[in-house]
Structure 1
């Protein structure tokens, strides 16, 4: 057997041998970066394989000029069929344009020169959507707005490793202070006024909406200033008396969120100062335990909640792993290891729920909001359904012929 544990049993069977059980592997294997490709093509093309892809997908690369455009044609031998027995995909071809300027992209979309754009850029946000996050009524006849959960959790993180002197001397080492912060800001208002509701307020745990294992039954933190003040008093800082300013670190993209937190937390007696750090330096400082209180986010690498709970497993302490908070809890660790061995999804999800609940109890991480997939297509496009990984799946997309169509 090869050292990497991969065996091609025959021309259509691929076998993986693991050193130890890892049930999330199935979710990982569903991701594009884990697709099986023919070794003969890799050996033949070498570094030029990216320009000569060989696979079993619904489309075939026909043309690619880097930085300008890419054209794919229908794979007439694609193996999937729809429920009526019609071979997929429906589209004959796909043309992808690389438009760097977002305003130019938006204008091309309005003119009907492109059929699909992903996300909302600040340059077109006020024109395309309302304050509450709905499609501008004037485009209802010509544009479809498609939304759904996106596997990204935006959160506040605390370094709580009390073996570090700068943590033991800080008020954030006190769980009551962390819970006061968790109850001290209004997620619903934050999403409405700062993100136009293009996201879901995080009233549950770390596992995001749309992920198998997520449940609304897990009650996390919601805005409760009276309870926040009670927690602050329990920590020994009644109405914030004696509490020095707590520094919240962030990057430039999230200053508005942090200023919102700063204002709301000041109303319950928690003084916050904001430190804006360039992205590369920010990631290095977070990884090397130099940030006590920070704004973080985690986009799923694969569709299994283990990917999120790994952020709090003590075996993943940064800098070698993604546990930037240095949270360590024996019960959490036992549940985490147990979940990796459990092949029954319902039982594994029950372990995930217990871990997420423990994380809320100790609050090394405070979820703020879960992200949302936002797509816009012309009204003549059908089948452009969202998915929580925001993968572009075009095999069931159709364009309707409409002589009167105008955007």
Structure 2
């Protein structure tokens, strides 16, 4: 991934906070606090039950998976986290053995009754089994079911059929602790990329069984992990405060392969040999609206902020940091990660869903009629690039040369497509009717209380009117919209996915029929697609697998259950005293490495 520091001139680097001497270790210690903000409210802090960006980011600092990614290495590299090393992997990619380091402990909690609770292999066995518990509402189960862990789906089905509690104590062939610190996973089929699940705290961030059982229905408010921070205070939809976990193990930063860019080199130099985390506290504010969020940073009330795209003309005029911010020592870092902004069409909806030629034509006409470049220009102020497909730029399978209807606005062709497939009749207001003469109304959902969403809605209204399609809008909180999407209650909704590993499988899995009701928000089911998807999962990266990914990609573009919009450009703004921040494309625990001199 390319990262560039947005300074007016290269010479400014010499005066940046990165090159200043670190404080004398003998100086009086100062409490280090980082203040930041998110633009959407959290759902809670139990990884299997959440997928919103705010909750995921907080959880990543509390819970730890066995593996992680090197902070700086590009291309990205796996490295151990709570594991003693990378796992033992069989030649056929069907057996994986993880060894956990002794002496890692969960954060103190009353549940442990004053005893230090060590992390053991059985905790990861329990963590994975939770996804199979029918009582747990999760949209991530497919991540493990697709891998076909021997015995777990059958154990889940037994609980469903017998209407009994899921038996966590029953050992299965595919997942078991070998001893106190080693656990084994066995798969029915090869899965060369299975290890990525164990580098994602959202899937394999270890939890203690006694904590889950003690807090039960209130678990979302009581996260207890082994990570560098623990939850100190939570005021729902307003503020989340994390504090340093006093029982966190000794973790010394040791850089691996360091890219030659100035930001990476400076971070490696500043953090080398230092014990993590460096912060005492992280204060996260929930500020939905753009203007107050920007004013909070500009007024010095926030130390770190992902720049709202709407303020790009103020903060980055001409692509350079504004003189007033540069004078204050503000730092700006840009990156394209593994992100995709998109909309989905509910394929079970009677208006936009289905695989019949006229429904496919309707979806493709909507895509052709909506101008992604106008959205980038008007809403995102140029801080994105148009997406040609659903595959993000850093995902294996992304073809930078591919051009598609999604990236080519063509209103004339969109109108002709609708006319050709029977949408040529109009009502008294001039809006198109369905081929059978009935009313045609599109319904698009969006996040409540967001000025950006209002701008997007206005653009959709203008362009659908030009296409002759009536459109209405509904709004709710992000968490409520996720629930509605899983319940198949939304016709069209759009958001951004930040992919959690460097492979295209996750995005293409959004079209896999068995994933419907989980990551497959579109409820897309096509036997030919499912067969190709299942086949590519068995293959290591190779020309054969690459070709299959391209076929899957083109099927998504042909049937258009998803409408690709853009790949966002992330711009992170840091106050002068912030050091060590870098946006990793696949991890979410960046505060672990941040230092604050404020």
**Fold-level match, TM-score > 0.5?**
yes
Residues paired across the two proteins, number: 387
Of 244, 265, 287, 1:72 maps to 244
Candidates 216, 231, 234, aligned match of 2:417: 231
d(CA) in 1 for partners of 2:357 and 2:483?
A: 21
Partner of 1:149: 336
Taking the TM superposition and a 5 Å limit, the aligned residue runs for 1:3-152 are: 3=172, 5-9=174-178, 13-35=182-204, 37=206, 55=226, 59=228, 64-66=232-234, 69-72=241-244, 77-78=250-251, 80-82=253-255, 86-89=272-275, 92-99=278-285, 109-110=297-298, 115-120=303-308, 125=311, 129=315, 135-141=321-327, 142-152=329-339
Partner of 2:391: 207
Asked whether 1:249 is paired with 2:418, we answer: no
Give, in whole Å, the separation in 2 of the partners of 1:375 and 1:209: 19
- Give the Å deviation of 1:23: 4.3
Q: CA deviation at 1:193?
A: 0.9
What is the TM-score when the length of structure 1 is the normalising length? 0.75
Shift of 1:310: 2.2
Aligned to 2:468: 270
**Matches of 1:247 and 1:44, distance apart in 2:** 45
Structure 2 runs not aligned, ≥5 long: 1-169, 257-268, 434-439
CA contact (8 A) 1:249 1:275 kept: yes
Q: Which of residues 543, 567, 590 in structure 2 aligns to 1:393?
A: 590
After superposition, the Cα gap between the structure-2 partners of 1:130 and 1:231, relative to the gap in structure 1 and judged at 3 Å, is farther
TM-score (norm 2): 0.54
Kindly indicate whether the alpha-carbon contact (under 8 Å) linking 2:250 and 2:276 is maintained by their aligned counterparts in 1: no
**Greater mean deviation of Cα atoms: 149-158 or 83-92:** 83-92
| 2:553 aligns with one of 356, 376, 380 | 356
Contact 1:151 1:208 in 2 (8 A): yes
Secondary structure of 2:403's partner? coil
The answer to which of 140-149 and 172-181 deviates more is: 172-181
Counterparts of 1:182 and 1:288, CA distance in 2: 24
Provide the C-alpha distance between the structure 1 equivalents of 2:559 and 2:343, rounded to a whole number of angstroms: 13
> Offset at 1:379?
3.7
Once the 2 structures are TM-superposed, how far is the Cα of residue 273 of structure 1 from its aligned partner?
Answer: 2.0
Q: 2:368 aligns with which of 183, 196, 211?
A: 183
Does 2:509 align with 1:310? yes
Q: Deviations over 1:67-114 (max 9, x none)?
A: 574442796832652258943447643431244568887666456565
CA RMSD, Structure 1 to Structure 2 (Å): 4.3
Higher RCO structure (Cα 8 Å, ≥6 apart): 1
Of 251-260 and 215-224, deviating more is 251-260
Check the 8 A contact 1:151/1:300 in 2, yes or no.
Answer: yes
SS in 2 for 1:342: coil
Distance 2:566 2:244 in 1: 37
Separation in 1, partners of 2:350, 2:202: 41
Instruction: Go from structure 1 to structure 2 and tell me whether the alpha carbon gap of 1:234 and 1:298 turns closer, same or farther (over 3 Å shift).
Output: same
The separation in 2 between residues aligned to 1:317 and 1:37, in whole angstroms, is 26
Aligned to 1:365: 562
Q: Deviations over 1:152-206 (max 9, x none)?
A: 4333333445xx765689999432332222222321221121122343322x211
Tell me, in whole angstroms, the C-alpha distance in 2 between the residues paired with 1:139 and 1:184: 39
The answer to whether the 8 Å contact 2:242/2:283 transfers is yes
Q: Secondary structure at the match of 1:243?
A: coil
> Which of 241-250 and 370-379 deviates more?
241-250
**Structure-2 change in CA distance of 1:228 and 1:208 (3 Å):** same
Q: Which moved more, 1:353-362 or 1:369-378?
A: 369-378
Structure 2 vs 1, CA of residues 288 and 66 (structure 1 numbering), >3 Å: closer, same or farther?
A: closer
Give distance in 2, aligned partners of 1:31 and 1:205: 25
| SS class of match (2:393) | coil
Identify unmatched segments of 5+ residues in structure 1.
none
Aligned with 2:251: secondary structure?
coil
